[in-house]
């Protein structure tokens, strides 16, 4: 029901509405991204449903070309697994650490650290609002598709004033394994600057002698954040 309500919000269209110009999020910000969604993957030849729920603490700085995420995912036993992900485009490295191990990988050639903007070719879906009366929050809805990821569709709701992200729904088929997925992010505690610069420090555990495979949950958030801001 929650996902259905989000899609209804992001589908709002008025054919007579004036098309606004594409906008840009603050080039330096931090926020909490609440996450809920699911996917259907094939395990041992059987389609299996996977529920995704958790939250991400995101720090993004276009000026220093770095992005840090603390990825929290709720496990089946109710505990929370935390993975630290650091993009450092000054070194062209991605550092993913958690549970006593770290994986250091090169950022693929040709990948750029782009400004966090709605693309010029994004489709305007119309305006809507959240809340009521004097407390309502006016929003613009956009649909974004990339030629490099034709099986993935993203819809975003940003404030009409300031272009602050509020909602994002991403759905389609994952490029790496063809799994069908549907994930919604709700942006909370948005702040237009970085309050602690040490969030961009390389974790001490990340050295050449302590590398491991990237957890699938971390792989998923890496792909999502990559599609969102690169």
d(CA 72, CA 215): 12
The structure tokens listed for 158 are 């940003």
169-172 contact pairs (CB < 8 A, 24+): 169/3, 169/6, 169/7, 169/10, 170/224, 170/227
Kindly indicate the confidence band of residue 216, based on its pLDDT and cuts at 50, 70 and 90. Answer: low
CATH number at residue 222: 2.50.20.30
**Confidence at residue 15, expressed as pLDDT on a 0 to 100 scale:** 47
Domain that holds residue 69: 2-229
The total domain count for the chain is 1
What's the whole-number average pLDDT of the chain?
Answer: 80
Question: Lowest-confidence range among 17-26, 73-82, 195-204?
Answer: 73-82
**Confidence at residue 127, expressed as pLDDT on a 0 to 100 scale:** 93
d(CA 177, CA 219): 12
d(CA 155, CA 184): 9
Query: What are the φ and ψ backbone dihedral angles of 107, each rounded to 5 degrees?
Result: -70, 130
Is residue 226 scored above 80 in pLDDT? Answer: no
**Confidence at residue 164, expressed as pLDDT on a 0 to 100 scale:** 93
**Confidence at residue 36, expressed as pLDDT on a 0 to 100 scale:** 84
Rg (CA), the chain: 18
Average pLDDT, stretch 145-150?
Answer: 77
Is residue 100 scored above 60 in pLDDT? Answer: yes
d(CA 102, CA 80): 18
pLDDT tens string 176-189: 666 788 889 999 99
Average pLDDT, stretch 32-42?
Answer: 82
**Confidence at residue 194, expressed as pLDDT on a 0 to 100 scale:** 95
**Confidence at residue 137, expressed as pLDDT on a 0 to 100 scale:** 94
Residue 15 contacts by C-beta under 8 Å, 6 or more apart in sequence? Answer: none
Place of tokens 């040709």: 110
Is residue 31 scored above 70 in pLDDT? Answer: yes
d(CA 71, CA 80): 10
């Amino acid at each position: 029901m929650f996902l259905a309500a989000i899609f209804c919000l992001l589908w709002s269209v008025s054919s007579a509405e004036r098309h606004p110009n594409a906008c840009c999020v603050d080039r330096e910000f931090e926020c909490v991204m609440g996450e809920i969604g699911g996917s259907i993957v094939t395990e041992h030849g059987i389609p299996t449903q996977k529920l995704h729920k958790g939250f991400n603490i995101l720090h993004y700085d276009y000026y220093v070309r770095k992005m840090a995420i603390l990825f929290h995912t709720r496990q089946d036993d109710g505990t929370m697994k935390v993975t630290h992900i650091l993009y450092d485009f000054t070194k062209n490295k991605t550092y993913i650490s958690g549970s006593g191990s770290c994986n250091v990988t090169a950022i693929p050639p040709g990948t750029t650290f782009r400004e966090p903007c709605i693309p010029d070719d994004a489709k305007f879906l119309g305006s809507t609002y959240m809340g009521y009366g004097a407390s309502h929050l006016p929003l613009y809805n956009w649909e974004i598709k990339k030629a490099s990821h034709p099986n993935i569709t993203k819809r975003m709701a940003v404030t009409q004033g300031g272009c602050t992200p509020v909602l994002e729904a991403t759905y389609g088929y994952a490029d790496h394994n063809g799994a069908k997925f549907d994930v919604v992010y709700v942006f909370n505690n948005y702040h237009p600057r970085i309050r602690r610069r040490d969030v961009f420090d390389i974790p001490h555990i990340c050295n050449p002698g302590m590398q491991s495979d990237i957890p699938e949950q971390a792989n998923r958030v890496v792909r999502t954040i990559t599609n969102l801001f690169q």
